[in-house]
Structure 1
Amino acid sequence: MLLLNRSDIEKCYSLKDCIAAVADAFKYFSAGKVDVPLRTQILKQNGKDTFLCMPAFCEDYDAACVKVLNMFPENINQGLPSINAQVLNIDTKTGVVNAILDGNYVTQLRTGSASGVALKYLAKKNCRKGALIGTGGQAATQLEAMLIVRNLDEVAVSDLDFERAQKFAAKMQEQLAQYHTKITAVKTGNEAVKDADVIITVTPSTKPVYDAQFIKKGATICGVGAYQPKMEETPAELVAKANKIYFDSKDAVLAESGDIIIPLNKGMVANTSFTGEIGQVVSGDLIGRENDDEIIFFETVGIAAQDLMATKSIYDKAVKQKVGTQVNM
């Protein structure tokens, strides 16, 4: 069995590689070619901590995996990752588990890549300012994905903890220097999203992290953090005024995300308000952005197809480049 930790993966694989893999994942998923049951989710009585199990299989992609993931949002206050996970890669011919991958890093890569795919296909070509709200464990790849797909002059970063936002911005300014983008911390979500062309929110908030009135025409917004029905980082008013609304998985979003469930329950949007899945845009079966004035909203809760294609592509590269540690189990 091959063991792949974060360092191993970084040696042979990039976020740009993962954006391509996740684009495939969305395309195959929306075409009905990925077997992805709704993930098993157990919520602790505190209403915050979650245990998740996510299996997936795709015959056409010759890929199978299972991800075991635990999400504990308050860990960030203890300096611990909010997500702890492992991914088991499975040989589709024999059923043998042939690799275990650092699920934390795979999750960071594939979650950032979801926004990267959405912005690649839905954002205006000419974008100047980005906004990122939330600086937890998923934030770094969200920010880099934004910079990979659009050439931005600046990105404003905000967080409930301004000092944490400042530290994150300074760290990212150094780590992502090759993109030549100014990364600065601001005190509020409204300040971050004002005049922003592309926006990513990645928080577990149960109330909106910005006001819809500050979103300008032509903006593309990715809602990433609201993975439970009571979570609502995106204002319902924004969802209501969006010209187009796309999902990673319509069924998963309608079952799990408060960003959509809450405005639906309030009667502010209807099922007819939803445009479709991003995979349909990737495949060319559904139109994306049609002009530079459209406000487009993309909601993702994460689907196992992302883990599946990311894990398979990482494994293939690691084997080819002889990266990782072989162990007998």
Structure 2
Amino acid sequence: MLVLNEQETIAALDWSALIDALERMFASDCVMPVRHHHDVKVPNRADATLLLMPAWVPGGYCGVKLVSVYPDNHLSGLPAVQGSYLLTSGQTGETLALINGNALTARRTAAASALAARYLAREDASRLLMVGTGRLSLNVIEAHAKVRSIREVSIWGRNTANAEKTAEQARELGFDAIAVTDLEKAARQADIISCATLATEPLIKGEWLQPGSHLDLIGGFKPSMREADDRAIARARVFVDTRAGAMSEAGDIVQPLQNGSLKPEAICGELAELVGARVPGRRRPDEITFFKSVGAALEDLAGAILAYETALNTKIR
């Protein structure tokens, strides 16, 4: 069995290859049951949660991501979220690889947004606004730069020092990046706005979106979380990674559906329909596009297969 740690997983997931792998997987006959979770009792500490996300390609590969959320892990000096991916043969069930789940999740999440931007962002989009300074921010910047010629990157965060640090790290990667404090001004100037935050109240207002802009929402993974307001929904053509996930879990979709500012039929398409050419992506240079992702198990499977095959081929050589 192949075991890949965090750095080995990152090294095996080249951005361009990963984005292409996700595109192929969304166009495939991958089976993706609904993910499920279990409460786990932890003596003398807060309850934990075990999440399981299975997916398989019949006759190909099968895998499951296991994510453990232990809220009191800070008492032990450990991250609250721990993850791993178990990849097996879809022919025999043989265990093939154990892959670092944190690195896999961060990179496949960013790659999914970049894949959507390949279809929804303007061809000449060059100015990216990154809202949020967490683990995903640098991944999102790097991934988007693989599908569009990003020349300028603005980074906004509630903590100015963190935004400055993230901008410095982006510059070390070769990007012309600056930290900004005026979110409205930065949003009005951006071609692509990516949000990866834990916000429960909208950060991006629809009135700020300029004709031709693309809004990419990553952070809100609960119905109570929002990163953009109803006006943003109303002004844009709306797309999601999967309807099943976004319409039940994402506050940026669930809340507008509940208050009537978004009708189910107004969701123009999901990633599988975009990559399969069953729905059109961007139609005009001046239209505003909106993409909401919550994550899908097939994305993890695509990344795990790529990491396994890349690492195996490297080892054989």
Find the partner of 2:179 among 155, 180, 185: 185
Q: Give distance in 1, aligned partners of 2:221 and 2:72.
A: 15
Q: Give 1:22's aligned residue.
A: 22
Q: Give 1:53's aligned residue.
A: 52
Q: Give 2:90's aligned residue.
A: 92
5+ residue gaps in structure 1? 324-329
Q: Give yes or no for the alignment of 1:312 onto 2:305.
A: yes
Deviation at 1:10, TM superposition (A): 3.7
Q: Give distance in 2, aligned partners of 1:226 and 1:14.
A: 26
Deviations 1:102-147 (A, max 9, x none): 1101001100101110111111111131111111112221111111
What secondary structure sits across from 2:125 in the alignment? Answer: coil
Deviation at 1:190, TM superposition (A): 2.1
Q: 1:99/1:287 Cα in 2 relative to 1: closer, same or farther (>3 Å)?
A: same
What secondary structure sits across from 1:152 in the alignment? Answer: coil
- Letter of the structure 1 residue corresponding to residue 8 of structure 2: D
- Letter of the structure 1 residue corresponding to residue 58 of structure 2: E
- Letter of the structure 2 residue corresponding to residue 23 of structure 1: E
Q: Give the conservation status (yes or no) of the 8 Å contact 2:27–2:272.
A: yes
Q: 1:82/1:199 Cα in 2 relative to 1: closer, same or farther (>3 Å)?
A: farther
Q: Give the conservation status (yes or no) of the 8 Å contact 1:83–1:137.
A: no
Deviations 1:82-105 (A, max 9, x none): 642100011112212221001101
Structure with the bigger RCO (C-alpha within 8 Å, sep 6+) is: 1
Q: 1:43/1:225 Cα in 2 relative to 1: closer, same or farther (>3 Å)?
A: farther
Deviations 1:193-216 (A, max 9, x none): 121111111111111112221110
Give the root-mean-square deviation of aligned CA atoms: 2.5
Q: Give distance in 2, aligned partners of 1:48 and 1:254.
A: 27
Normalised TM-score (structure 1) = 0.88
Q: Give distance in 2, aligned partners of 1:140 and 1:283.
A: 29
Find the partner of 1:239 among 233, 244, 248: 233
Deviation at 1:58, TM superposition (A): 1.1
Aligned residues: 311
Deviation at 1:283, TM superposition (A): 1.6
1:191-230 matched pairs, under 5 angstroms: 191-230=185-224
1:72-221 matched pairs, under 5 angstroms: 83-174=81-172, 176-177=173-174, 181-221=175-215
Q: Give 1:263's aligned residue.
A: 256
- Letter of the structure 1 residue corresponding to residue 250 of structure 2: S
Q: Give the conservation status (yes or no) of the 8 Å contact 2:47–2:70.
A: yes
- Letter of the structure 2 residue corresponding to residue 86 of structure 1: S
What secondary structure sits across from 1:35 in the alignment? Answer: coil
1:272-283 matched pairs, under 5 angstroms: 272-283=265-276
- Letter of the structure 2 residue corresponding to residue 167 of structure 1: K
Q: 1:211/1:59 Cα in 2 relative to 1: closer, same or farther (>3 Å)?
A: same
